[in-house]
Amino acid sequence: MTLPLRPDLAGLEPYGAPQLDVPYLLNVNENPYAPPPEVVDAVTEAVRAATGGLNRYPDRDFLPLRADLAAYLGSESAAVGLDADHLWAANGSNEVMLHVLQAFGGPGRVAMSFAPTYSMYPEYARDTFTQWHVAPRASDFSVDPDAAVAEIQRVRPAVVLVASPNNPTGTALPLETTRRLAEATRTSGPDGGASVLVIDEAYAEFRRAGTPSAVTLLAEHPHLAVARTMSKAFAYAGARVGYLAAAPTLVDALRVVRLPYHLSAVTQAVARAAVAHADLLQRQVTQIRQDRDACVAWLRERGFDTVDSDANFVLFGRLDDRHAVWKGLLDRGVLIRETGPQQYLRVSIGTPDEMTAFRDALTEVTGL
């Protein structure tokens, strides 16, 4: 018996990085530091309280959580005027992005980005029957604003997705580039209106000093959305909470396409407990930044082509046989990611012990 699978899905494999049982997991950009005991206690109590009402559906619009996230962004990014109506949340930023494509993409419409970038973007487009278009980044993995604006005006996309810091390169957009993209997308949509410009800031808390968030531009551009996640800086990957800030009219469009009660009562409780302890959960961010910069310097000293990173990972190359290097590290118990441009590998920043294991293994494999 054959099933009526969509023809465009035939032969495809599900997305996912390798999940292997090795001592050093440095492949999916997780925060290597577990939530501290104070946060564990707060989350446990929040879950206990939520469990008493699990016979009822959760708060469908989760306004208290949205208000908490608005306050966090306002303090973290000096954003003015954000409230619950400007925030949206879902089960990871992946679901947030899917909501964006469900609301603004679809048959006959185009979503675009600048490659190399996050490998899930074309899957959001595929799953919403949206045409996918990519334009190249510059040789240093930056986005050339003149070239980007010209391509946006030519393609007339419904949605433009730009990761900043970018995955897998770690490069962040200068605020002036974001502003240029926001101005260009005011009138670049398929019907002469706006394109929705999504700046994906999943790694924003790790950006280097002096790199502002696109959140500061939201008041000027009602078609701009800034996506975030609690998976990285909040050390909350297992909780699956992502969120987005935008004008209320854009947020309201996402409410139309979300599944009923998509954010469980337990997820809402866990997320609010985390936001209330943001300082504790993020106390290792400075350490991760320092270890990232030390990793970049160490790799460069050994002759690797290494990209300046504003994230919690480092892209390095150029490797004649990157798979052989990846496999050599794996044989030594170190799992990193074979992704992005050919000849490059990506390593997540781990604990000091994990980074020592990575350096020792890479030295053995490459002889450098």
Report residue 78's pLDDT band, with 50, 70 and 90 as the boundaries: low
Nearest to 336 by CA among 310, 362, 366, 305: 362
pLDDT at 80 over 80: no
Q: Which domains does the chain have, with CATH numbers?
A: 17-33+284-366 (3.90.1150.10), 39-281 (3.40.640.10)
Report residue 205's pLDDT band, with 50, 70 and 90 as the boundaries: very high
pLDDT of residue 20: 86
- Per-residue pLDDT tens digits for 340-360: 899 999 999 999 999 999 999
Question: How many H helices and E strands in the chain?
Answer: 12, 12
Euclidean distance between CA atoms 230 and 308, whole angstroms: 23
Report the pLDDT averaged over residues 31-48: 96
Alpha-carbon distances of 242 from 28, 159, 188, 226, 350, rounded to whole Å: 16, 19, 27, 11, 22
pLDDT of residue 2: 87
pLDDT at 159 over 80: yes
pLDDT of residue 77: 67
Report residue 75's pLDDT band, with 50, 70 and 90 as the boundaries: confident
pLDDT of residue 79: 60
- Per-residue pLDDT tens digits for 280-323: 999 899 999 999 999 999 999 999 999 899 999 999 999 999 99
Is 234 exposed, middle or buried, given 0-12, 13-18 or 19+ CB atoms closer than 10 A?
buried
pLDDT of residue 248: 97
Structure tokens at 85: 């109506």
Report the pLDDT averaged over residues 162-188: 97
Cis peptide before 168 (omega within 30 of 0): yes
Least confident of 11-15, 41-45, 324-328: 11-15
pLDDT of residue 365: 96
Q: What is the pTM of this model?
A: 0.95
Please give the distance of CA 287 from its chain centroid, rounded to a whole number.
20
pLDDT at 76 over 90: no
Euclidean distance between CA atoms 189 and 187, whole angstroms: 6
pLDDT of residue 244: 98
Report the pLDDT averaged over residues 43-49: 97
Instruction: Give the angle subtended at the CA of 222 by the CAs of 117 and 244, to the nearest 5°.
Output: 50
pLDDT at 236 over 70: yes
- Per-residue pLDDT tens digits for 122-143: 999 999 999 999 999 999 999 9
pLDDT of residue 211: 87
pLDDT at 21 over 80: yes
pLDDT at 213 over 80: yes
Nearest to 348 by CA among 339, 357, 336: 336
First to last CA, the chain: 55
